[in-house]
Amino acid sequence: MKFLLLILLFIFYSEKTNAACKCMCVDGEMEPICTSALDIPLPCIGICSIVPPSIPPITSPKIPPIGTTKCEMRQVKSPHSGRYEWKEVCYK
């Protein structure tokens, strides 16, 4: 009984950890976007619309968050508006 409970807790925790990553269109390509550097990115498959030409906004230099090596402004398609918006995306 305890073993079954342990397995169920592990499955629930694993699903919750992966839920922090979503596949989104970034600069016209499908990429996993995670909320934390510790999250495991999921493989993404899909087709994105063409990115409209745009000039990136000017940003001040910042130190990347812990667990990442660099951050840059990228055009990310908003699931709410369906339009590309400039967002800061950080990489490991």
Please list the ranges in the chain whose pLDDT falls under 70. Answer: 1-19
Q: Which residues pair with 23 in a beta bridge?
A: 32
The CB density around residue 77, as the number of other CB atoms within 10 Å, is: 19
Give the strand order in the sheet containing 84-91. Answer: 29-34, 21-26, 70-77, 84-91
Q: How many residues does the chain have?
A: 92
DSSP for residue 82: -
Helix residue ranges per DSSP H, 1-92: 2-18
pLDDT, residue 7, reads: 42
Per-residue pLDDT tens over the stretch 66-92: 889 999 999 999 989 999 999 999 988
pTM: 0.66
